[in-house]
Every structure is written in C-alpha cells, then in structure tokens.
Structure 1
Amino acid sequence: MSVSGIVNVTPTSEARAELSRTLDRFRRQGLEAEPLVFGGHRRAEAVVLPFEMYERLIPAIEDIFLAESIRARLATSGPNELRRVRHEGARHDAAETDQQ
C-alpha cells in the first residue's frame, strides 16, 4: 500500500456497489491493498481498509487520543502541571529503584 497526497475519491453510490469486490481485493492483497476512499462531491468522507491494517493502526490512534487529552489538560492547568507530573514521575521511578 502506498501513501501519497493524491486520493482517488469514489462516489458513495459506486463504493456501495463495489463493496463485495473491495472485500475480495482485501482478501487477496492483504496489507498491500489500497483502501477504498469514498464520499460525495469528490470530497473524501470515509475510508474502508483491510482489518489487519486497522489492527496495526489502533496503537497510533490511541496515542493521538492520549496526546489530545494531555494537550487539553495542559491548556486548562498550564505548564506547572507538566512540571508536577514530571516531578512525580521522577519520584516514582526513584522509589522503584530503591525497592529493587
């Protein structure tokens, strides 16, 4: 599978009609299969991709949500919160080292 800035957007009605063929292509090509990008008025609105690729993307998706949560928390509490978390983390690491 290649990743490029050019995306071929399939109209929704065509994507619906192609779904069975797309699934067959995913079965044959696995991770190498190009995702099906579809939407209305040539605007990408959704993607269908092989499940194996989705499974590989889950950790990255979780990281994105975690980063957004951290940014939101920092925005409401400021940089002192980051210093406090770092300090607490360092104390926790030191305590674990002492116990070993």
Structure 2
Amino acid sequence: MSIAPILPSRDARAEIPKALRRFRAEGATAEPLIFGSHRRPEAVVIPFELYQELLPAIEELEIAALVRDRRAEPSRPLSELAGELGLDPTDYS
C-alpha cells in the first residue's frame, strides 16, 4: 500500500465528504485522508472499520510502552515498600 497524497489542511476540509463516500463504498481498504500544514503529514482520517481492526494492535503498543517505562524504573526492596505502607515485612516471610 502506498502513501496517499498529503493535502494542505484547508483542502482536507473539502475532501472529507468524498473520503466518507469512499469509506462507505470500500470499507477498511479505502484510501485514508492525510493532511497537514505545508503538505507535511500531521493527521490521518481512516475508515472506522479499519480503526476497529487496528485497535488491538494500538492497545498492544500502549501496553508495551508502559512495560518499557516500568522496567526502566529502579527496583526497590520489598521491605522498603512494606515500610511505606506501615507493614512489618517479617509478618510475610
């Protein structure tokens, strides 16, 4: 799949009705509407059917980023965490 033409933002407004007709006719395979300032891609409008198909992958990417962030945090001993919660770690050993 090649990248659709990038429209200036002002032209994208006029293209939305055409894109919606395309989405209704072609479903998830319809060409997206890509636009931005100075023909630099900044936003994409895609068929909702395609969005629904992509949602699980998007969620997986979000979870992966969260895991990476948490793994980067320094680990702390359980005794320290228990102390912060007012617990005696020896009660759980």
Indicate the SS of the match to 2:64: helix
Indicate the SS of the match to 2:38: coil
Paired AA for residue 69 in structure 2: A
TM-score (norm 2): 0.75
The superposition leaves residues 41-83 of structure 1 with CA deviations (integer Å, 9 ceiling, x where unpaired) of 12100000000000001000000110000000000036xxxxx
Structure with the higher helix share, 1 or 2 = 1
| Map of 1:60 onto structure 2 | 57
Q: In the alignment, does 2:68 pair up with 1:71?
A: yes
Distance in 2, Cα, partners of 1:41 & 1:51: 26
Q: In the alignment, does 2:13 pair up with 1:16?
A: yes
**RMSD after superposition:** 1.3
Paired AA for residue 55 in structure 1: Q
Gaps of 5+ in 1: 79-100
Distance in 2, Cα, partners of 1:47 & 1:19: 11
Q: Give % identity.
A: 51
Distance in 2, Cα, partners of 1:64 & 1:31: 21
Relative to structure 1, the CA distance from residue 38 to residue 28 in structure 2 (aligned partners, 3 Å threshold; closer, same or farther) is same
| Map of 1:85 onto structure 2 | none
Q: Where has structure 1 moved over 2 Å in runs of 4 or more?
A: none
Aligned residue pairs total 75
Indicate the SS of the match to 2:73: helix
| Map of 2:23 onto structure 1 | 26
Conservation of the 8 A alpha-carbon contact between 2:6 and 2:41 = yes
Gaps of 5+ in 2: 76-93
